[in-house]
Amino acid sequence: MTKIKIKITCYSLLFSSLATTSANEIQDYNIYHQQVIEAEKFIASGKYDSALLVFERLFNDYDFVFLSEYQIASQLSLYLNDNQKAINYLKQGISSGWKLKSIKKNAYLKPLLKGEEWKSVKKEYPNLKKDYESNLNKKIREQVKKMYSKDQRKALKALFRFSSKAQDKYAERKFAPHSEKQMNDFSKILQTHGYPGEKLIGNNYWMSTIISHHNSISTAYAQKDRLYPNLIPQLKESLKNGQISPYEFAGMDDWYLTVKYDRTKPTYGILNPPSRSNLLETDELRKTIYARPYELREALIAIQKKTGMNFYLSDRWY
């Protein structure tokens, strides 16, 4: 009898341990992005139903879902002639920040925007938008928006320097002090609230643009800079907890690597497409942050052209 009790206790502990491990894995966004890549591979091979199943598993398993996943799932559902499912994912997209203007600009969704269901969605839109905005940190959003506006004004002045030498001089003497203050302010936000991206403030380019500007001051500056390199471990932790996407991180880090090494080393292939000779190194770098292989991106672009769907491939960085 004692042996049976011991065995039962051991099995209970085992199942408890497995459940805890599973719960922890569910919220690991490195795993999330690996699964997105699996879905994209299915899309690239024309297996749209299998891709949709992967996305649906993500929707069930994760508390926060990046907007692009709902955008793609809505289109896949429409392609598979499941209009009701397409509408449902479109509504979930609105609850994740998808704006009416952006929906209407998606040519592939046009057939979906003609029926009674769409009229119902438009009526629900204000409440869905409120639900979305209620989950954002409005104070940090406003702070980052002001930082972005200030950064844009400063960066614009560099365009009036017509030689690269004059631009570097302006960047190092005038822009760098401003940028260092911005980076210190960003560091405080990162320490206190985490990365201010899509999950925290509903915007995925304000802060990454600020950091990209910092990383592009000049080669001489990047080689001695410690502000950005010291933040990389925390940025990668933000990647794991879903506060930043691989492509937002890759955008800012590509600037750093490109400028620091003066275009002499392989990067993520964002500012400059990789050559055949360094494609493997580019993909290895992408793999470290769970970004899709470069050739998979090219395959998805081909599918976009073939079907008319829009996979929201973060092209602002390419």
Domain limits for position 161: 138-291
For residue 156, the model assigns a pLDDT of 82
Is 298 part of any domain?
A: no
pLDDT in tens, 235-293: 999 999 999 999 999 999 999 999 999 999 999 999 999 998 999 999 999 999 999 99
Asked if residue 234 belongs to a domain, the reply is yes
Same domain, 152 and 220: yes
208 to 254, 268, 315: CA distances (angstroms): 11, 16, 14
> Do residues 49 and 117 share a domain?
yes
Instruction: State whether 223 and 171 are in the same domain.
Output: yes
Q: Are residues 217 and 251 in the same domain?
A: yes
Once rounded to an integer, what is the mean pLDDT over residues 302-312? 97
Q: Are residues 187 and 212 in the same domain?
A: yes
pLDDT confidence bin for 155, thresholds 50/70/90: confident
- In the chain, the number of structural domains is 2
Q: What is the CATH number of the domain that holds 97?
A: 1.25.40
Same domain, 92 and 185: no
What is the band of 6 on the pLDDT scale with cuts at 50, 70, 90? very low
* Domain identity same for 209 and 105: no
Question: How many C-beta neighbours within 10 Å does residue 301 have?
Answer: 15
Give helix 227-240 / helix 206-215 axis angle, nearest 10°.
150
pLDDT above 70 for 14: no
| Spatial distance between the Cα atoms of 198 and 206, rounded to a whole number of angstroms | 10
- 220 and 143: one domain? yes
- As a whole number of angstroms, the distance between CA 105 and CA 164 comes to 38
Strand, coil or helix: what is 166? helix
In a domain, 308, yes or no: no
Same structural domain, 66 and 179: no
Q: Is 296 exposed, middle or buried (0-12, 13-18, 19+ CB in 10 A)?
A: middle
Judgement on whether residues 86 and 219 belong to the same structural domain of the protein:
no
CB distance 296 to 290 below 8 Å: no
Distance (Å, rounded) from C-alpha 35 to C-alpha 273? 25
Residue 296 domain flag: no
The CA distance from 209 to 148, in Å, is 8
Inform me whether the pLDDT recorded for 65 exceeds 70. yes
Query: Coil, helix or strand for 196?
Result: coil
218: helix, coil or strand? Answer: coil
Query: Is the pLDDT reported for residue 74 higher than 80?
Result: yes
